[in-house]
Chains A and B, each alone.
Chain A
Amino acid sequence: MSPARDQQSPVAPPSRGGGGMRLRGLIRKEFYQILRDPSSIAIAFLLPIVLLLIFGYGVSLDAEHVPIALVVEQPSADTASFTSGFHRSRYFEPVYLRDLREAEAALLDRRVSAIVHLRADFARRLRQTGGAPVQVIVNGVDANTGQLILGYVQGVWQKWLQRQALDRGDALALPVRLEARVWFNSELRSRNFLVPGLIAIIMTLIGALLTALVMAREWERGTMEALLVTPVTMREVLVGKLVPYFLLGTGGMALSVAMGTWLFGVPLRGSLWVLFAAASLFLLAALGMGLLISTVTKNQFVAGQVAILATFLPAFILSGFIFDIGSMPAVVQGITHVLAARYFVAILQTVFLAGNVWSVVLPNALALAGMAAFFLGVSRRKLRKRLE
């Protein structure tokens, strides 16, 4: 393969085995480009911070301090002791309104999310058999929150009944006593499971979207053609892209973990190295997808669109990051199995909130490894040293 060249030629023979030098050159180039391109810095570092702040502080799936209207037609000692339960609860922000009509108007205006209505005969019928009815109207537009509010109202009512019974000195004859204990996220803070899931989203952005864009840019600007005519091999081109964006993704991950644990107080019960090992597998799968997308599209605009549709949005919606996969229709559940983010989110939530649960971590890590091998393998095959 390396025949002797003309002796008279003044031209230096090409040095062989310069793979290390070529790879170093490619990686150094990539880092210069990352540092000088504000958009890659933004995607790698600014966007994670913004997302973490939004999900850490802004988005909450819990119903807390729910504004609630209390309509008491005939105030009495009994109604006062009943409504005081709402004041004590951290779930409610009660306001007193004069009549039902006013409360309905407030509900329509979304000033309150629920109405608790005590009729004029509440105190009288309380003492009679059959008891006093309490009307609860809940804004059911958001069904989940509606259910939560209804549950909380019932909780307040239950507590009040217990207190009433204790005051009267007789034990409440309940056949079953419910002692609830919440595992893993005992404070029931949604941020505790959102922030770990968010790491998967951030790494999808860096691994798939950013990589798809920068690779497509090489085709678009004609730099790829100039690269292809050098003695560089496609393996070197691929590794030259993988290494910088792998490091960038790991940086985004470290940033997210640090912000999650220190700023938002999310517990990290598993070990850090399990987390990073799983993240590395996921990152390789995401990078493989990004490289594949850009190799096929060769155009920044299309690559960006495809990357968002095929990686980012599914990671957001179908990974179990926000919406529980178990409550999705069977077909959609089937689709989630081809998403790398699904396996990663499962590992993340487990490692953060429960610890190194190998029965969860290992199968999911295996799936990630399989996907990484698949996508990197396919992009290696697709990326040929040809322009057609």
Chain B
Amino acid sequence: MSDMTLESQHSQPIAQRRIGLVFMLRQDPFAFAAVVVLVLFALLAVLGPTLLGDIATSMNLRARNAPPFELERGFWYLLGADALGRPILARVILATRTTLLIAGAAVLLSMVVGSVLGLIAGYRGGFLGDAILRLTDIVMSFPSLLLALVVLYVFDPAITNVIIVLAITRVPIYLRTVRAEVMEIRSRMFVTSARVTGAGPVRLIGKHILPMVFPTIVTIMTLDFAFVMLAEASLSFLGLGVQAPNVTWGVMVAEGRNYLSSAWWLSFWPGLAIALVTMSLNLVSNWVRMVIDPVQRWRLEGKGEK
């Protein structure tokens, strides 16, 4: 089923496919907007810190908690200022790179490790499968604060350690999801002929299992992105993670916590950035999935023909 899809797509001339993609993207305003947002944030991540200089880090106590949408302090103060009078707009931009780097690395790492282990546990089963599963039970029950403290005490508070701590705590969800799906698909495979016709495990996983598991995994990933960005902030407060003057959206949201009842904008804008990225990733992944899935593809193409 799904392997046929892939093959039929491969057989299309590449150029034609590319035109089709852009065309289809334009037809879906949500997906289009999402791609624009992601490209924008990617640009900010690459260029932001160099373009900003020290606008985002120099304090100005007279502008402390300055409200948004007042232009007399200049463009950078459009979104207001934080508790040290630093322009929030500039800080959101400054934080983009570190935020996306940490969250992206942590999510990818947990996804890859979790999925591989989940595939093994689901496909092989037996002793190894049991061992892997019980290991996730342990990880799920281990207090993440304790884990963070151990890392803090034993290792240096480097950003890679933050990524590892975050990734470890998120591995179980991918692992369990993939395993459950693999078991289900595998049992279905007994009924169908794939096994009988002598397909090897690699082919089986690649052609039958991954395409089925992938949409769910991607959905969880996009949502985990938001979670990881926020969780990272709590590590920063322990001293593990980014330290001033470096900043992330999660840290900004958390710093604004104490001002929620008096200056909502401190945590609102970075929170909005987190929500925007999460939402865009999700919309794009939904769209990509529809493009790949022939059963759904008509919805995009059909609209175009009208």
Q: Do A and B bind each other?
A: no
**Which chain B residues have a beta carbon within 8 Å of chain A's beta carbons?**
none
Query: Which A positions have Cβ atoms within 8 angstroms of B?
Result: none
